[in-house]
Structure 1
Amino acid sequence: MSRRNGGDLVVEALSGLGARTVFGIPGQHALGLFDALGRSPLHFVSSRVENNAAFAADGFSRATGEVGVLFLSTGPGALTALAGLQEAYATAVPVVVVSSQIPAAGLGGVRKGMLHQLDDQASAAAQVTKSQRTVRTASSIGPAIRAAWAEATTSPQGPVWVEVPQDLLLAETDLPATGSVAATGAAEGPAPAPELLDEASRLLSAAGRPAIIAGGGVRRAGAEADLLRLAEALDAPVICTPGGHGAFPWEHPLSLQSWIEDRHTTDLLEDADVLLAVGTSLGEISSNYFTLAPRGRVVQIDAEARVLESNYPGLGLHADAKTAMEALVSAAGNAPRAASDWHGASAAEHVAATLEAVRARLDAQDLGHERDFMQALRDGVPDSTQTFWDMTIAAYWGWSCWDARRGEFHSGQGAGGLGYGFPAALGAAVGLSGPDTAERVLAVSGDGSAMYSIAELATARQHDADVTWVIIDDGGYGILREYMTDTFGAPTATELARPDFAALAESFGVPARRVAPEGIREALDWAWQQQGPNVIVVPTLLRMFAPTHLG
């Protein structure tokens, strides 16, 4: 048995912080790290592509509320993971990344021609992680891991990068093991400036037509109950962005659900005399592709200072969603507020009329196939199911129409890269599995995005992950086909040769079925009776809805 080395200092620090699962792929410079991993209680999930390992750590964190941990090797391995980390960074998912490095003597580009060498690897990660640390002594390993963990879990949360040179990971050590330590992240996040909070309270109390846009920051802060109390105290309609999907009860009388890409709901938000945006940057999607033009005051709350007032001027509060909304609820209960008046209707009546207008618009677009398919998909899985969606037409529908019920909705819309759905769901399934029970997880991809993560069928089989993967096969990049046809009259380079996905899955030892769209409900019943991974392939063409009436 090997003696303790620098790799042990890494895994001991992670174990002491409460980590239980690690994702990644071994590599030559990281051998000392993986040698130590074999002596640790940490469960290692070996992916096939580093980008997918990053997605899996992201999905694990979203599903469990724990910190995702990712081990990477130097150079190509580290670079391959960056697109996956961009999603975690854009969506504020806490991930601690431990990458190996070339031997310390080569750092800074002093020596050239070393295997996997990058002159400044940490700089490559700087665009997609909150911070980067390069460890240069064995005694710095434990403190660096603890500092990274604290930063990853401090609001705004996100991925943090630590790299350790190969020779430090291999070197024997007699340094004491790190014991269990309490996580030091400031889970409550930044508190709002008192004078800005008072002004926000005054504006909302005086509003006759307040409305709320709830983003992913509400969910990340665990502020769903606070959002409900605030909306009811203000009598304010609430719409959820794709990231905030499920933050507000779907069937509540004040719920505009998630029809954020609809002109009818955009009209309502524009008509609000005070528009409260919580935990959202009001970016491209959550502003209905920047067509939103508020006529009233905008109050924006976000834990990430850099997004405040970046797209719309207003009153910006740098604050965690839960902290700020708790204070606003308290203020709303202690001060009289203006009576709601949506042009002679109550807020609930105006919400109901708006949703009816949305339904009428969809009825006018001949989208029965798409609506029936999405409803069958929703009804085919248990209410508590966590779902993970790739960037595909079904996901665009899901952003708007999927009632998460008692489960959670996750998608790759933060950075918008392909290949997120299946590896993220795989990571979630690993995290939700227990010695006696496991919660099956649903992944939804198109045939184009499925090819980004098809190798992870081997990972799912190796680890017996309880994940069902629905692949909607329309023969190409469906959404790009629509965009190009609508813009230029014809698509270019959107059509794809692809495998027989069901046969390919079965070659990995993963049970699979190929079904017509009307068979999806029965296929999901079959999938939920199985153990381990399975695949359902649905050859069909789904079309996107238009946000306004056609013609």
Structure 2
Amino acid sequence: MSTESAAEQREQHRNGGDLVVETLEALGAKTVFGIPGQHALGLFDAMGRGNLKFVSSRVENNSAFAADGYSRATGEVGVLFLSTGPGALTSLAGLQEAYATGVPMVVIASQIPLEGLGARRKGMLHQLDDQKASAANVTKSQRLIQHASGIPSAIQDAWTDAISSPQGPVWVEIPQNVLLDPIVVPPVEDALAIAADNPPRVELVREAVKWLTTAQRPAIIAGGGVRRGHAEKSLLALAERLRAPVISTPGGNGAFPWTHPLSLQSWVEDRHMTDVLEDADVLVVVGSSLGEVTSNYFTFEPRGRIIQIDAEPRVLESNRPGLGIRADAGQALAALNAALEAFEQAGDGRPLKPDWHGKTPEQLVADSLAAVRARLESQDLAKELRFMADIRAAVPDDMQTFWDMTIAAYWAWSCWDARQGQFHSAQGAGGLGFGFPSAIGGAVGLETIGRPSRVLAVSGDGSAMYSISELATARQHNVPVTWLIVDDGGYGILREYMVGAFGKATATELARPDFVKLAESFGVPARKVAPEDVREALEAGFAADGPNVVVVETQLRMFAPTHLDVQ
């Protein structure tokens, strides 16, 4: 009795789902996240004949976070498979984070059969009036494929869209019958997706150089676009050429060397830093919208001129007027460096000699950081400072970390030195539940690209409950992730906001499980430790195999960013 080869079996049973799998493989996809569903069965059947690794989460929103974390950790496109209706809708909050942060993802969602499409026709299970319209607010583009022969080209175009700046998630949906029906389309042999070029306009670079070569107090805000554009080296070259102080936003954390003499680090929420940035006569804002956090909650009132560089045209001048340059951060900074170098070689104008009211830029940076440190030390925050320092000391220099919306993460936005690792947080959209599933995706991704490494996830007890089911995913795939849960008995940051605003907190306190026992019930080792023992516990967790959990019961406070708030 002969046994069919894999190739023969694939050829005999090929359907629209095979075209999806073949196209993704040709584009370089290796791993897919998601959950099977009734209308997507043809897709999952085809995946069994392909080479894609599938990681099944327990909730679709967490699948979206996992695909997001995979992309952030690897620099590759995250791929997400979704079922129709409830499954698709459940993913949207996770996709909002990817969209807000510019994470390239390709989302393949199933649809009801073609004959049922249209508002309330047929009355089929999972039916929506217009499913892709639901995704319009959280994805760059949406496509509906209505015939099998259109699958390869549509996915290739979607992939191109995802990787072209501004990067982001894209949505492709395919009806059930298009996935299931036999096809005559031959196997996909190649697919090509090249990011669209996004250079700055020549006249805008020329104008920016005029401003910068006459500036006495240039400064730079480095946002997440610097990291997405792989512009770290160009940013360093520009800062050193101008001798301009650089501050990184939460999304830009790691874009500039933390201990560099020109680094204002990431203390963007401290008023000392806002004062420095307001005093700049030319402020270069790269890859940031100057949004709520970066503008110190819209208290930022710059007195100088602004050069704003961003790949997303809707961001330019959205919060402050200035010279808006729509461009990929990497291409724009490279062009600025080249133009400034040409200016220097030509010997035009005066030498660049920045003067911050009698201080050198390096003196200004040192004094500003010292002022921030003094303010922190005046606020009875010894526990918080030690806690964050102990986490930093435990984490290896090259480890990637994933932070949920919790007080520890708010601290990390300002104080975390990413070193040779990468810092990832949910500050784009600010939804809960990002930390653990994104870390799972990140760890899976690092293994997939041949750089296996343990990662750290940090959550509060409130945000941990959003993704607690993913302990099963971590155990099933033996993912090397250590999950630090900081348990303060409620929504800590909301508690602090409400007490500050109203004198008391309402509806912030939570009943929660015994996280140690709950983790152990999934077969995941866990331990509870005192705050002062977090370093030792994390180091032990990092040395272990597979997933593990560290729980710390403590209530952290945020720092006050101005002297007016210090009692």
Place the TM-score, normalised by the shorter chain, in its bin: over 0.9
**1:355-370 equivalent positions in 2, closer than 5 A:** 355-370=369-384
Q: Number of paired residues?
A: 549
Alpha-carbon displacement from aligned partner over 1:312-365 (angstroms, at most 9, x marks no partner):
001100011111111111122222544110000100000100000000000110
Q: SS of the residue aligned with 1:163?
A: strand
Aligned match of 1:545 in 549, 555, 559?
Answer: 559
Which residue does 1:94 correspond to in 2?
Answer: 104
1:67 to 2:77 alignment: yes
Which residue does 2:296 correspond to in 1?
Answer: 288
Would you say the 8 A contact 1:18–1:180 is kept in 2?
no
1:180 deviation in Å?
3.0
- 1:371 is matched by which residue type in structure 2? L
Mapped partners of 1:90, 1:437: distance in 2: 27
Would you say the 8 A contact 2:120–2:128 is kept in 1?
no
Would you say the 8 A contact 2:17–2:42 is kept in 1?
yes
Structure 1 unmatched runs, 5+: none
Aligned match of 1:139 in 149, 174, 178?
Answer: 149
Alpha-carbon displacement from aligned partner over 1:18-65 (angstroms, at most 9, x marks no partner):
000000000000000000011110000000000000000000000000
State TM-score, norm by structure 2.
Answer: 0.96
Would you say the 8 A contact 1:135–1:141 is kept in 2?
yes
Q: SS of the residue aligned with 2:189?
A: coil
Would you say the 8 A contact 1:234–1:332 is kept in 2?
no
Aligned match of 2:517 in 494, 503, 511?
Answer: 503
Which residue does 1:166 correspond to in 2?
Answer: 176
Q: SS of the residue aligned with 2:314?
A: helix
**1:108-507 equivalent positions in 2, closer than 5 A:** 108-109=118-119, 111-186=121-196, 189-335=197-343, 336=349, 337-433=351-447, 438-507=452-521
Moved more, 174-183 or 425-434: 174-183
Q: SS of the residue aligned with 2:546?
A: coil
State TM-score, norm by structure 1.
Answer: 0.98
Q: SS of the residue aligned with 1:162?
A: strand
Which residue does 1:532 correspond to in 2?
Answer: 546
Mapped partners of 1:360, 1:437: distance in 2: 40
Mapped partners of 2:249, 2:189: distance in 1: 41
Would you say the 8 A contact 2:222–2:252 is kept in 1?
yes
**1:37-48 equivalent positions in 2, closer than 5 A:** 37-48=47-58
1:76 to 2:98 alignment: no
Mapped partners of 2:559, 2:451: distance in 1: 39
Would you say the 8 A contact 2:457–2:482 is kept in 1?
yes
Mapped partners of 2:490, 2:87: distance in 1: 28
Q: SS of the residue aligned with 1:109?
A: coil
**1:21-60 equivalent positions in 2, closer than 5 A:** 21-60=31-70
Mapped partners of 1:376, 1:369: distance in 2: 10
Would you say the 8 A contact 1:517–1:539 is kept in 2?
yes
Would you say the 8 A contact 2:31–2:448 is kept in 1?
no
Mapped partners of 2:503, 2:320: distance in 1: 34
1:257 deviation in Å?
0.2
Alpha-carbon displacement from aligned partner over 1:347-391 (angstroms, at most 9, x marks no partner):
000010000000000011010100000000001010001000000
1:193 deviation in Å?
1.4
- 2:235 is matched by which residue type in structure 1? L
Alpha-carbon displacement from aligned partner over 1:271-317 (angstroms, at most 9, x marks no partner):
00001000001100111111111000011000000000000001100
Over 4 Å off, 4+ runs: 434-437
- 1:358 is matched by which residue type in structure 2? V
Q: SS of the residue aligned with 2:276?
A: helix
Aligned match of 1:521 in 527, 535, 538?
Answer: 535
Moved more, 106-115 or 457-466: 106-115
1:110 deviation in Å?
6.1
- 2:203 is matched by which residue type in structure 1? E
- 1:408 is matched by which residue type in structure 2? Q
Structure 2 unmatched runs, 5+: 1-8, 344-348
- 1:192 is matched by which residue type in structure 2? P
CA RMSD of superposed structures (Å): 1.1
Q: SS of the residue aligned with 1:19?
A: coil
Change (3 A) 1:282 1:491: same
Would you say the 8 A contact 1:279–1:301 is kept in 2?
yes
